[in-house]
Amino acid sequence: MKRIIPLFLLITTLVVGNPLWAQSNVKPLNEKKTTRKLGTLIYYINNYYVDTLDMPGLVEKSIVATLKQLDPHSAYISEKNVKKANEPLVGSFEGVGITFQLFNDTILVISPVPGGPSDKVGIQAGDKIIKVDGKDAFGEEITNQWVMDHLRGKKGTRVDVSILREGSKDLLDFTIIRDKIPLFSLDAAFMLDKHTGYIKLNRFAKDSQKEFDKALDSLKNEGLQNLVFDLRGNGGGYLGTAMKIADEFLEDGKLIVYTQGIHQPRQELDATTEGGFEKGKLIILINEGSASASEIVTGAVQDWDRGLVIGRRSFGKGLVQRPFPLPDGSVVRLTVAHYYTPSGRCIQRPYDQGIKKYYGELNERLKHGELYHRDSIHFPDSLKYTTKNGRIVYGGGGIMPDIFVPFDSTRFNNLYSSLIRKGIYNTFVNNYLNQHRQEMEKKYKTVKTYNNKFEVTDEMFDEMINLAKEKKVTINEKELTPNIDYYKLQLKALIGRNLFNQNAYFEILAPMDIEINKALEVLNEKNGFDILK
């Protein structure tokens, strides 16, 4: 069994095990123009500058500024935050549940932790936190520690944040109730029909493979023949976990991924004999939030024509980071290599126009219509590759699905966003269960019974809409009327999640999930998988 290592730790052992070899291709350093020059400058500032300075802080800012000139994923982690950096993958904490990066002295949300407090109220990747509890949350004084001090806290405590979101003129206000951030990386596992199982993974964490194997075995006992593997919104995690899960689908000896950099020779990682689902029909769901380790698994499955990929183009992160310790206990995660899919694709998006444009690229996809029309996406011939069976695929900007499913802007409209963001759904669910929890628990002993027999009545839905009006949510009938059935199902799913678990939420929503329905449609077509031949 392969040892689990973080994605950014992929080649640490290789380099540390042979440090002289690792340095053999490094261009000699001109110390007079680099290290000695920098050290002399720090000496002059410390000993001759007119005012007293926080020299460690000044050096930290210099490091951060330097790394910004490299790539979007090289990062500095202070000594205080080293232990916290991997908590979403290896531990737990109480707080609002986001991963973030300080960009231009502003808190940039990289992604909300799926199922966490921020995710529940509608915080999105790309949001910028401008205020926390009414105080400005931008400027030079905003550090990683400042963010930790203000956003982390005991379960049940409240924090108000104001968000700047691309496309919105005004700040958006959110009230977040801190909670214990979910430890489990597997959100759901259940049968979609008699022969088709569904597994949703939100990140590739330390124990994800164990969770996946347990879910797979359980579904096999229920008659699993086909699998829909949902990696939508999965931002990545441990490479070792991604390798093991890709190994579940691929035959012994097949290449999963390889890495290579100017100072790092090619290193190949192959599948073993351990696969638990190498023969059945496989569909992977992805979208613009699927990144890094998710793209490794998806790329391997696609390149070997092992399964179909359905959804929208993935994020496009193909860089490998390695942690380098600094003398004070802090760490620099430095990009040292690219990773490549079996066909030779590097799916890293360009970042030569700066970090701001890099992280704003997803919004550009929206503006250009890519989320709605496949024809809006253009790849140059220079990025063309072929799969095992000769199908054309492209590198240079994420994984392009085999079957495109557009984003449903009519369903996920401004009204839906407001209901989530203003906490209307959660407030109603909490109020409803405060009054009816005991009778609900007696009446519905299982998720299946609840899903089959409980219905959100018109009176319940009207009560929620009235609550929204009280909270100053504008009710646009053109947005509401066509989507009432989905909004009711969302309410039912949220009540189910509160009564049972996260799995119940996804199982209840599945019948109206567009990508899942497309997957089932393809699985039920006689020639649905002919594209792979």
Cα separations (Å) of 487 from 235, 412, 452, 465, 484?
Answer: 27, 10, 18, 11, 5
Q: Return the closest-CA partner of residue 296 out of 252, 253, 239, 351.
A: 239
**pLDDT at residue 182, as a whole number:** 63
Cα separations (Å) of 365 from 52, 54, 218, 445?
Answer: 47, 42, 39, 45
Q: Return the closest-CA partner of residue 320 out of 333, 335, 332.
A: 335
pTM of the model: 0.79
Q: What is the pLDDT of residues 225-270, one digit of tens each?
A: 999 999 999 999 888 899 999 999 999 999 999 999 988 899 999 9
Asked if residue 153 lies in contact with residue 178, where contact means CB atoms within 8 angstroms, the answer is yes
**pLDDT at residue 148, as a whole number:** 86
Q: Which of 303, 314, 330, 402 is catalytic?
A: 303
Task: Tell me the backbone φ, ψ of residue 500, rounded to 5 degrees.
Answer: -120, -90
Q: At what angle do helices 502-509 and 484-499 cross, to 10 degrees?
A: 160
Identify whether 303 is a catalytic site residue. Answer: yes
Record the tokens describing residue 194, joined without a space: 């008699």
Identify the DSSP state of 269. Answer: E
**pLDDT at residue 21, as a whole number:** 36
Judged by DSSP in three states, 4 sits in coil
- Taking the C-alpha atoms of residue 420 and residue 467, their distance in angstroms, rounded to an integer, is 13
- Taking the C-alpha atoms of residue 239 and residue 291, their distance in angstroms, rounded to an integer, is 12
**CA atoms within a 13 Å half-sphere pointing along the CA-CB vector of 147:** 27
Looking only at Cα atoms, what is the longest distance across the chain? 79
Residue with structure tokens 């997957």?
A: 519
From first CA to last CA, the distance across the chain in angstroms is 32
Identify whether 292 is a catalytic site residue. Answer: yes
Q: What is the pLDDT of residues 3-16, one digit of tens each?
A: 343 443 333 322 33
Q: What is the pLDDT of residues 414-463, one digit of tens each?
A: 999 999 888 899 889 878 887 898 899 899 999 999 999 999 999 999 99
Tell me the one-letter amino acid at 56.
P
Torsion region of 318: left, alpha or beta (phi above 0 gives left; psi -120 to 50 gives alpha): alpha
Judged by DSSP in three states, 90 sits in helix
CA atoms 358, 364, 369, 371: torsion sign: positive
Asked if residue 349 lies in contact with residue 396, where contact means CB atoms within 8 angstroms, the answer is yes
Asked if residue 404 lies in contact with residue 314, where contact means CB atoms within 8 angstroms, the answer is no
Asked if residue 99 lies in contact with residue 88, where contact means CB atoms within 8 angstroms, the answer is yes
- Taking the C-alpha atoms of residue 241 and residue 210, their distance in angstroms, rounded to an integer, is 9
- Taking the C-alpha atoms of residue 227 and residue 219, their distance in angstroms, rounded to an integer, is 9
Q: Return the closest-CA partner of residue 111 out of 286, 299, 284, 315.
A: 315
**pLDDT at residue 423, as a whole number:** 83
Identify whether 155 is a catalytic site residue. Answer: no
Q: Return the closest-CA partner of residue 419 out of 451, 461, 457.
A: 461
Angle at 118 between CA 365 and CA 68, to 5 degrees: 55
Residues of the chain with pLDDT under 70: 1-26, 86-92, 182-183
Record the tokens describing residue 321, joined without a space: 């980071």
Q: Which of 185, 292, 294, 330 is catalytic?
A: 292
* CB atoms closer than 10 angstroms to residue 37: 11
Strands 331-340, 319-325: pairing is antiparallel
Q: Return the closest-CA partner of residue 358 out of 84, 101, 59, 32.
A: 101
**pLDDT at residue 414, as a whole number:** 92
Record the tokens describing residue 339, joined without a space: 């990773």
The domains located in the chain, with CATH, are: 92-180 (2.30.42.10), 186-324+335-409 (3.90.226.10), 414-500 (no CATH)
Q: Which of 206, 317, 492, 518 is catalytic?
A: 317
